[in-house]
Structure 1
Amino acid sequence: MLSKKTQYGLKALGYLAEKHGEGPILIADIAAHKNIPIKFLESILLLLKQHQILNSKKGKGGGYFLAEHPKKTTIAKAIRIVDGPIAMLPCVSLNFYEKCSDCDETHCGLRRTMAMVRDATLKVLEKKTLVDLIDGDLVG
């Protein structure tokens, strides 16, 4: 399940993708349009900026904007930045692997199953980009 932090981050990124090319967007505008608490949003946007997903401009006409075209950033990358691993178990994580202390990984049915879940999830999230987060009618 996605954390509230990740949900808010993805909603904000979808809004910034929709506004791409229009210049910097104020945090207050993002918060108002996406119904996100502004203090929570500030920390999320700062994190995304630290990882070069976003850039910002200070002063009059300032705000946040995507560092590159929204088609170039995958949803998987954004989730990993905000929330960490996509895998449901640390022993199947590609980027945040940790060995389980209570089982033999070579014979673990839970590990095998969760690796399949990870692969299926990544198959979608690695193909979907910030453009896919733009609000609109559901197509399917």
Structure 2
Amino acid sequence: MKITYKGDYALKIILYLAINYGKGVITIPHLSSRLDIPEKFLEQILLELKRGGFVKSKRGKEGGYFLAKHPSEIKLGEIIRFIEGEIEPIACVDINYKGCKDIYSCVFRKIWVRITQETLRIIDTVSFEDLANEIKAQEKSLIYVI
């Protein structure tokens, strides 16, 4: 499984909105500068996330984006699958796999299936609330020296 820039940015956008959940809307210029994502690419990803029901937008001068549901209800795996598609490190892990004649590949299939299952278990249990809380805890533990 390889996450594209688009997927990586989508995860960062959702995480940033999760950290700021309940604090109002976040503008595109703010997201772009804070997450270092080009505005045009950011707009495309936000529109896709909006179509997927993960974010909502508010129009107008005071407009911007916010999460469509509580961060605890959005799992890491949902966003990855939505943006990247199904998670299959190798073709033979696909549920529609018919088998092959390559005995060497088939020996590895069991391992790839286990790797995929464990990856799915992890990404389907981690919520954006979990990740946001981890970031907030790290920020609190920082010591500022002047």
2:113 to 98, 112, 115: 115
Q: Is the 8 A contact 1:90 1:98 kept in 2?
A: no
| Secondary structure at the counterpart of residue 108 of structure 1 | helix
Contact kept in structure 2, 1:75 and 1:130, CA below 8 Å: yes
Query: What is the distance in 1 between the residues matched to 2:85 and 2:36?
Result: 24
What is the TM-score with the length of structure 1 in the denominator? 0.84
Runs of 4+ in 1 over 3 A off after TM superposition: 97-100
Give 1:103's aligned residue: 100
Larger radius of gyration: 2
Q: Tell me the CA shift for residue 28 of structure 1.
A: 1.2
State the 1:104 CA deviation.
5.1
User: Aligned pair 1:49/2:47, yes or no?
Assistant: no
Query: 1:109 offset after TM fit, Å?
Result: 2.2
Letter in 1 for 2:128: L
Which residue number in structure 2 is paired with residue 10 of structure 1? 11
Distance, in Å, in 2 between the alignment partners of 1:104 and 1:47 is 40
State whether residues 13 and 133 of structure 1, in contact with CA within 8 Å, keep that contact through their aligned partners in structure 2. Answer: no
Which structure shows the bigger proportion of residues in helix conformation?
2
* Alignment map for 1:73-92 (pairs within 5 Å): 73-92=74-93
- Structure 2 residue runs without a partner (length 5+): 140-146
Q: Which amino acid aligns with 2:44?
A: S
Identity over the aligned pairs, expressed in percent?
A: 35
Query: How many residue pairs get matched?
Result: 134
